Structure 1
Amino acid sequence: MSFHRSKGLEADYTILLDISEGDYGVPSRIEDDELLNLVIPRPESFAYAEERRLFYVALTRASRGTFILCNKRKPSRYIRELCDIAGDDVRFETIDGKELNQCPSCLVGEVVERKGRNDTIFYGCNQFPDCHHTQRENPSLAIVV
């Protein structure tokens, strides 16, 4: 169901589809009709305020957990904000449930193997050029004590 229709309902888990940037993403980039501006009492103090409220409604319908599916090259700005707020309570996975190596810099990218000059191997964020995080060691081989 849509974000609007889920208002007031609750489920154990919810799945939010295509929470990505773009014209039809979250937040939507389609401009409001100018007629709407005539009936809104005062302009919003920040961009996409109504979209942000709607996303919050969809996000909070779950009592146990929420799965957010997004385009990994263009995740919604709201996912980055969630990572800033929730920290370790947010986990990135593949569609098969395998945990991804989350980028510690941008929080929404994945640290993947890359080839540098002279065929050297390094690990960098898949959000490049938006994120420039790199590291020498393989993040999946990190030892946790």
Structure 2
Amino acid sequence: MEIKAQFLTVHKAKGLEADIVIIINCNSGKHGFPSEMSDDMVLNLLLSEADQFENGEERRLFYVAMTRAKEKVIFIADSSYKSKFIAELEAESGDSQIKKCPRCKVADLKLKSGITNGKKWGFYSCTNYIYGCDYQQWI
């Protein structure tokens, strides 16, 4: 069995198809997908109001990337720093077994626990902490 693989940017993949598409770097952050750098103000001047929404251009690119797959699309992301696009897909699918943060609504809650001076402790913490959500739920 021979496996052929190509590594393409989303821009280069426009108009192409593949049986399986793997989208890497579906993480949040400055170099994630979407990048957390601000949207291009010049581009927003050229777009109609209907096209001006948060991460609009990268959202369209993400859609292009997802729709290149004939059979299956696979997303690669760090579970602690998932892209908001991945969080939105999980929320819409209803398949996620992971608890979502009730404050920011998009990040996951991660269990942190331990033993101090012989006493067990634990709490759920929002994985969006580095971006300003300080939600915690003690158990």
* % identity of equivalent residues: 32
Q: CA deviation at 1:110?
A: 6.8
Q: Which runs of 5+ in 2 are unaligned?
A: 1-7
Answer whether contact 1:17 1:69 (CA < 8 A) is retained: yes
1:68 to 2:75 alignment: yes
Q: Which runs of 5+ in 1 are unaligned?
A: 91-101, 136-145
Residue among 51, 54, 62 paired with 2:61: 54
Q: CA deviation at 1:49?
A: 0.7
Distance 1:22 1:128 in 2: 11
1:18 to 2:25 alignment: yes
Q: Aligned pair count? A: 122
Answer whether contact 2:107 2:128 (CA < 8 A) is retained: no
The residue type paired with residue 53 of structure 2 is: F
Aligned CA distance change for structure 1 residues 3 and 123 (closer, same or farther; 3 Å): same
Aligned CA distance change for structure 1 residues 37 and 15 (closer, same or farther; 3 Å): same
Higher share in strand: 2
Deviation string 1:36-91 (CA, Å, 9 cap, x unpaired) is 455x1435431111110100110121122222112332211001110121222x6x
What is residue 99 of structure 2 aligned with on the other side?
104
Normalised by the length of structure 1, the TM-score is 0.63
What is residue 120 of structure 2 aligned with on the other side?
120
1:84 to 2:84 alignment: no
